[in-house]
Structure 1
Amino acid sequence: MRRIEAGVLSVAYRETGPAGGPVAILLHGFPYDIHACEAAAEILAEQGWRCVVPFLRGYGGTHFLSDGTPRSGQQAALGADLLALMDALRIPRAVLAGHDWGGRAACVVAALWPERVRGLVSCGTGYNIQDIARAGEPAPPEKELRYWYQYYFHTERGRAGLTRNRRELCRLIWRLWSPEWRFDDATFGRSAAAFDNPDFVEVVIHSYRHRFGGVPGDPALDGVEARLAARPAIGVPAIVLQGDADGVEGPLPAEDRAAPHFTGPYARHVLRGIGHNLPQEAPEAFARAVMAVGKEEAG
């Protein structure tokens, strides 16, 4: 495990592969950790890629440098953290690949700072930038049912539940979101240790309340959120990976709803039997997508 100060954080991360290889930054989501990207990183390293896999804010060994920094989980914070990490590691450009929160961080940087991005791999929704202004509009009832955890976190009962039962709650989410993935106790336990971070609960609760406009964000990030509110297009080479057994997204529509947000070289791939934790459930496909967008940009 390595550590570096980057922006408002002391970031814990793992790095594998040759130092001079093309760079891929692999990003986990909620409620997962760097083990979600571990197998894909090894595959990429064997192909000559330098892979950086950080713990996001609120997870594992990543900590805030100041007690006074808001424990925000908003999308602008995730993007700013990623950009700061690239600056701290002196990485001018990289392929960014992630799922859930990590996919959101990657999309934010690809949209707002495309000169830093060789290519993008985004799992799940694809265009993972939140439309906060329209967050109050109701979704179809079946989708609302799948969002139960978000509404739970809007309450103080939910905060207390996540604090008291974080491992049990996150394990339930793993099962519901990846119903065909047969993970064992050891696999979950390796990731669950990351949820013991002292800022985990506050960052998670803020994330789910902010995306619905229920709480203010970090004032230092107001400018970034204003740019994201315009729903900027993503012009870098991009691949969207979706699992047809994703318990959050539910049944996938035939049409590609993410495509209009991408203006550069773009592809969408649907993986059969794969759930929400796509990098860990299908590491080969995730790694292939990273290499494909890297080649697309190089060409």
Structure 2
Amino acid sequence: MPDLPRAAGLAYREAGPSDGPAVLLVHGWPESSHMWSRPLRALGEAGFRAVAPDLPGYGSSPLRRPATWALHVEALETFRRAVGLDRVALVVHDWGGLIGLRWACEHPDAVTALSISDSGFFPDGKWHGMAKAMREPGTGEELVAQLTPEGVAGILRSLSPGMDEEALAEYGRAFATEDGRHAALDLYRSGNFEELAEHDGKLAALGVPTLVLWGEDDPFAPLAGAHRLVAEIPGAELDVIPGTGHFVVDDQPDVFAERLIGFLQRATMSA
């Protein structure tokens, strides 16, 4: 178990100079800040201050229930302030997108750039099969009963060849207890896409450089969502990484880092 620093009750990883341009990286489900380990190191070497929290209940951060979408958004803002981040380039993946982009819409003056991967932020969004099952009373309880650390590792191993045993063990920690497994139901059942109607158009209104960096073969957040984001956000760039799926960062962490850093360097120069 890594010995990580904590702020506002959340464990986090950090790299780079304290006075470098700030980058805030928000992991998805069912991962932790571990997914950002190699991009964090590369960002730090490139002169950025890169910070990635473990959201409540994931990695080394203690669980908070009910573990709703709103709770995670609030936890992210409290964490940002606690670690002294002012304006940040926001980098998100999967549920980190739903959480981080909602945070960005609520704190537009704190955002300098966006990088969005394999997520969605659409009021008419649709849940994929596993998510639908978790949202269904009874069916969800039966499903999460199978999401032991070993069960989660088996699922992730089949979806991402880039995840090694260390990563699988790290991501499985959130499911070591019944409380942790049921927190997944809190999250998915609180995720009503209709709530995003109040944020419709707000990503575009941020007016910041935006990269849509996607896995080529994502079965959960298909490439059509990436094209839609690019169409809805003026000036957004689309970058698709070949040979990757939904877990694009784990699949190709060094390629992901290279593409991200190139974008952030261009965004910093144009600021």
In the superposition, the TM-score normalised over structure 2's length comes to 0.83
The more displaced of 197-206 and 39-48 is 197-206
Q: CA offsets, 1:5-42, max 9 Å, x none? A: 2xxxx111122222121211112111111211101101
1:288 aligns with 2:253: no
What are the equivalent positions in structure 2 for 1:31-110 lying under 5 Å apart? 31-63=30-62, 70-74=65-69, 76-110=70-104
Structure 1 gap ranges (5+):
214-224
Q: Whole-Å Cα distance in 2 between the matches of residues 157 and 166 of structure 1? A: 16
What's the RMSD between the two structures over aligned residues? 2.8
Q: Partner residue of 1:216?
A: none
Q: 1:276 corresponds to which residue?
A: 246
Could you list the structure 1 runs, at least 4 aligned residues long, displaced by more than 4 angstroms after superposition. 225-228
Going from structure 1 to structure 2, the CA distance change for 1:32 and 1:295 (only over 3 Å counts) comes to same
Distance 1:44 1:87 in 2: 21
Q: Which has the higher contact order (CA 8 A, sep 6+)?
A: 1
Between the aligned partners of 1:2 and 1:232, the Cα distance in structure 2 is: 36
- TM-aligned CA deviation for residue 129 of structure 1: 2.4
Could you tell me whether the CA contact under 8 Å between 1:36 and 1:279 is conserved in 2? yes
- Secondary structure (helix, strand or coil) at the match of 1:52 reads strand
Q: Distance in 1 between matches of 2:37 and 2:212?
A: 20
Structure whose residues are more often helix by fraction? 2
Equivalent residue of 1:190, what SS? helix
2:163, 2:250 within 8 Å by CA — same for their partners in 1? Answer: no
- 1:112 partnered with 2:106: yes
| 2:17 equivalent in structure 1 | 18
Mean Cα deviation higher: 184-193 or 168-177: 168-177
Amino acid at match of 2:138: E
Q: Compared with structure 1, are the counterparts of its residues 164 and 173 closer, same or farther at alpha carbon in structure 2 (3 Å cutoff)?
A: closer
**Alpha-carbon offset, residue 186 of structure 1:** 3.6
Over the matched positions of the two proteins, sequence identity in percent amounts to 25
For 1:93 and 1:190, locate their aligned partners in 2 and report how far apart those are by CA, in whole Å.
Answer: 29
The answer for the alignment partner of 1:229 in structure 2 is 198
Give the TM-score of the pair, scaled to structure 1: 0.76
**Residue of structure 2 equivalent to 1:122:** 116
Matches within 5 A, 1:159-238: 159-175=141-157, 177-178=159-160, 181-196=161-176, 199-212=179-192, 229-234=198-203, 235=206, 236-238=208-210
Please state how far the C-alpha of 1:62 moved relative to its aligned partner: 1.8
Ranges in structure 2 where 5+ consecutive residues have no aligned partner = none
CA contact (8 A) 2:144 2:182 kept: no
CA distance in 2, matches of 1:73, 1:290: 29
Is the CA contact 1:233–1:262 (under 8 Å) kept in the aligned structure 2? no
Asked whether the 8 Å contact 1:22–1:50 carries over to 2, the reply is yes
Q: Note if contact 1:121-1:238 (Cα within 8 Å) is conserved in structure 2.
A: yes
Q: Give the superposition deviation at 1:175.
A: 4.2
CA distance in 2, matches of 1:255, 1:200: 31
Deviation at residue 281 of structure 1 after TM alignment: 1.8
Q: 1:165 and 1:78, CA in 2 relative to 1: closer, same or farther beyond 3 A?
A: closer
